[in-house]
Amino acid sequence: MPLDAPLNSLGFAKAPADTRVVVAMSGGVDSSVVAAQLAEEGYDVVGVTLQLYDHGAALAKKGACCAGLDIHDARRVAEEMGFPHYVLDYENIFKDAVIDEFADSYLAGATPVPCIRCNERVKFKDLLETAKDLDADCMATGHYIQRKMGPQKAELHSATDATRDQSYFLFSTTQEQLDFLRFPLGHLASKSETRALAAKYGLPVADKPDSQDICFVPDGNYASVIEKLRPGAADPGEIVDMEGNILGTHRGVIHYTIGQRRGLGIGGRADPLYVVKLEPDTRRVVVGPKEALSTAIVPIREINWLGDEDMTSRADWHLKVKIRSTRPPRDAILRPLSATEAQVELLTPEEGVSPGQACVFYAPEGSRVLGGGWIWRGY
């Protein structure tokens, strides 16, 4: 093909049939539509599904990603569309890279986001390397986020549909990974468009419900998972106010998160109390009034920066940040301390900022994602 040949839909100057793309298939409707769409466009598609934890136990966990039923669903889609499909056993990698840290973070009084670590350490690291070993030109996923070519390099942008946007969970995608990744669904206006495509391709998962829980905690009871992994994690302790006065007892620090109001068992007070700090070393849960949750200065580390300029080239950056996946980006000032650490000042203080959560950076205007880091200290 001549050098000035037009680019195909994945950005390569060659025919789709000559372009191999590994599709990370969870068994859900999103990644299934990506695989089917690329197969229909004539790409050399290879589907890969990760078995992330015990297959036998997974069979009963219908609502979770990468469970036994989902592996079966991914295989059915591949058979329907006529491309090869492989299941890779990543159970040990997943436990070491994601589950163990999840448990240890809760024990340390943090509120982890394991889906980010899974993308960072498993899907976009080990699986991406596997895709390269398979001689793929790129790897595609069903994430709702956009990759756009900017004047200098490939850029990460939030999804068109703000209600489906997954940029919060993908901030740690490096530039090298972004060069190899593709996100064919990020431009869609709504999830209904994805389901319409699934119906168009006749996929058996067209009406499959979205998974809601952390994949290895399909019933939402993360405390029971942590207790199994770390016996003694649910040792009881004291609930104290901000002056250290004992107000009651609790059944384990792992059952509480910053900002929690319900379930404290210390009713009968005129003003509601909220969890403002967790002290795992003393097994204390510190509670206080709502205003004690308000935070303006947020320390960040393990920063992944995707901007065009070096992050440390400026003393401060006026941008927008997200400190919870469910909250919209807010105006903030980023003050770099090193290439991987910074202080973020929220121009409007927010409540419930918790160590272990992510702080994701966005351009002040437009949809570009500039990276992000991890909130790492209590207040």
The SS3 of residue 329 is coil
Q: Give the count of beta carbons closer than 10 Å to the beta carbon of residue 51.
A: 18
Q: For residues 105 and 188, what is the distance between their CA atoms, to the nearest angstrom?
A: 35
Closest CA to 320 of 330, 306, 307, 308: 330
Closest CA to 148 of 379, 368, 374: 368
* Contact present, 278 and 259 (Cβ < 8 Å): no
**Torsion sign over Cα 201, 204, 207, 211:** negative
As to burial, measured by CB atoms within 10 angstroms (0-12 exposed, 13-18 middle, 19+ buried), residue 373 is: buried
Q: What residues act catalytically?
A: 118, 215
Q: For residues 351 and 216, what is the distance between their CA atoms, to the nearest angstrom?
A: 28
Q: Give the count of beta carbons closer than 10 Å to the beta carbon of residue 302.
A: 13
Q: For residues 264 and 323, what is the distance between their CA atoms, to the nearest angstrom?
A: 24
Q: For residues 3 and 26, what is the distance between their CA atoms, to the nearest angstrom?
A: 36
3-state DSSP: the chain helix, strand, coil percent, rounded to 5? 30, 25, 45
Q: Which residues pair with 252 in a beta bridge?
A: none
Q: For residues 291 and 237, what is the distance between their CA atoms, to the nearest angstrom?
A: 24
Report the relative pairing of strands 274-279 and 20-24 from DSSP bridges.
unpaired
